[in-house]
Structure 1
Amino acid sequence: MSQIKVAIADDHPLFRTALTQAVLKNFDSAEVLEAENFQELISIVEQNADIEIIFLDLHMPGNDGFTGLTLLQNHFPDIVVIMVSSDDQPDIVRKAINLGASAFIPKSANLTQISTAIATVLEGEVWLPEHTDINVDLQTAAEHQRLAKQLAQLTPQQYTVLASIANGRLNKQIAYDLDIKETTVKKHVSAILLKLEVYNRTQAGLVFQQLMLTNNDSNHDKQVVNG
């Protein structure tokens, strides 16, 4: 295969190395950029407009659950995102795919499986760990897909305002953080409520918090320490 630029965002050096080997196995020529936290990843993406694939650790520093996935899709919709994690329970895998990830690679995967996942994604298909049924709960899947579409409709600044609302920031604080007028924040909030089809900022914050695994996944029955 031809030249490609890839970003690997994971705070575990050994797994970054494994992913890099798999990438190089699938391409004749590849440039691999590495990030140890989510903010570093965003900086790399902003400086490299030609990145095509991002490997994103589910629980890396700065990435709270699926907030990183949806932010990347909102800000950089042309980039393919592959989730990676040792937390590979079926409900977590399904949620990642339903929210728009192109693959979910467990950290227990070997080099051959990782390479297969990359090849599958490059063919425009979704790759899942073996024996993972994506169609178990169609209602929940539909809800997650609807949420992903709603978040994708937000402008990048509206997405940032929504995340701030979910973190309990007031309009005046958000205006200060983003260096914009409070009236502009209010306009963003009104647009957010309309696009998310909710009636107030509290409901909007709760919508966003659905992306945060540790607080909102009833099936997530273990405390996650590392991705």
Structure 2
Amino acid sequence: MSVLVVDDHPLVTKALVHLLETEGIEAASVSSVKEAIEYIRTIRKPDLVILDAHMPGIDGIAGLGLLQSGFPGLPVALWSGDECQEMIQKAIENGAIGFLSKAMSIRAIIPAIHLMLAGEPYLPVHLMASRQEPPENPARRPLPPSLTPREFAVLEELCHGLSNKQIARNLGIEEITVKLHLRSIYKKINVKTRTQAIAAYCNQPQATTVQEKTI
């Protein structure tokens, strides 16, 4: 797996690249969208681009558009020192695979990156919780009683933003078992992706129930 970091702050970029490399992820960095385009064309197409949302001369949405128009299907995540809801919403609507805050801890950022490398969208749980449902249906649906204790445990780990690999390690089960549990959970709570599950069920009163039923 490979990641390209696009950021004009060398100290921040160097730290992230080093962190990724210690996780066994090939990483490189450039300081502008123009350099990113050149890198992808002449060197390699990464599995994920992490794009600074605020660089001189171009904002994150415009940079996202340039990268996606030049390389359709390229996963691009925005990252920023602030959490402007309007910008994040526009990024997701325009095809970003996720958003990373520069204030995130190492414990949180690495699972998030692994998740996006696996093709899954990612937003921090507190940002997902702030995305409102349609006014005509403001209440969250209750978690169905048909969830097994193990499924409750998997859902709780999911709400912490962990990857399938980390969930498996924390619960002492195989990664394929996690995938099977998630498939069952999505069906029972009527969602299609982990992002929808987080948006609908994490940071809600039901979280207490999840904690009580973990094994």
TM-score range, shorter-chain basis?
A: 0.5 to 0.7
Is the aligned partner of 1:79 residue 2:74? Answer: yes
Q: Given the superposition, is the C-alpha separation of residues 136 and 34 from structure 1 closer, same or farther in structure 2, using an over 3 Å criterion?
A: same
Q: CA RMSD in A?
A: 2.3
| Residue in structure 2 matched with residue 183 of structure 1 by the alignment | none
Match of 2:113 among 115, 118, 130: 118
Give CA deviations for 1:182-216 in whole Å, capped at 9, x if unaligned: xxxxxxxxxxxxxxxxxxxxxxxxxxxxxxxxxxx
CA distance in 2, matches of 1:73, 1:137: 28
Pairs within 5 Å for 1:51-66? 51-66=46-61
Match of 2:96 among 101, 111, 133: 101
Q: Is the 8 A contact 1:39 1:62 kept in 2?
A: no
CA distance in 1, matches of 2:111, 2:82: 20
Match of 1:8 among 5, 9, 22: 5
Q: Given the superposition, is the C-alpha separation of residues 22 and 78 from structure 1 closer, same or farther in structure 2, using an over 3 Å criterion?
A: farther
Letter of the aligned partner of 2:127 in structure 1? T
Is the aligned partner of 1:136 residue 2:132? Answer: yes
Number of aligned residues: 134
Q: Given the superposition, is the C-alpha separation of residues 64 and 22 from structure 1 closer, same or farther in structure 2, using an over 3 Å criterion?
A: same
Letter of the aligned partner of 2:10 in structure 1? P
Q: Is the 8 A contact 2:17 2:28 kept in 1?
A: no
Percent identity reads 33
Q: Given the superposition, is the C-alpha separation of residues 114 and 57 from structure 1 closer, same or farther in structure 2, using an over 3 Å criterion?
A: same
| Residue in structure 2 matched with residue 169 of structure 1 by the alignment | none
Q: Is the 8 A contact 2:61 2:87 kept in 1?
A: no
Where does structure 2 lack aligned partners over 5 or more consecutive residues?
136-215
3-state SS, counterpart of residue 4 of structure 2: strand
3-state SS, counterpart of residue 99 of structure 2: strand
Letter of the aligned partner of 2:4 in structure 1? A
Give CA deviations for 1:68-88 in whole Å, capped at 9, x if unaligned: 101111111132111111121
| Residue in structure 1 matched with residue 64 of structure 2 by the alignment | 69
Q: Is the 8 A contact 2:48 2:117 kept in 1?
A: no
Letter of the aligned partner of 1:88 in structure 2? E
Q: Is the 8 A contact 1:8 1:55 kept in 2?
A: yes
3-state SS, counterpart of residue 78 of structure 2: strand
Where does structure 1 lack aligned partners over 5 or more consecutive residues?
140-227
TM (norm. structure 1) is: 0.53
1 or 2 for the larger relative contact order (CA 8 Å, sep ≥6)? 1
Is the aligned partner of 1:17 residue 2:3? Answer: no
3-state SS, counterpart of residue 116 of structure 1: helix
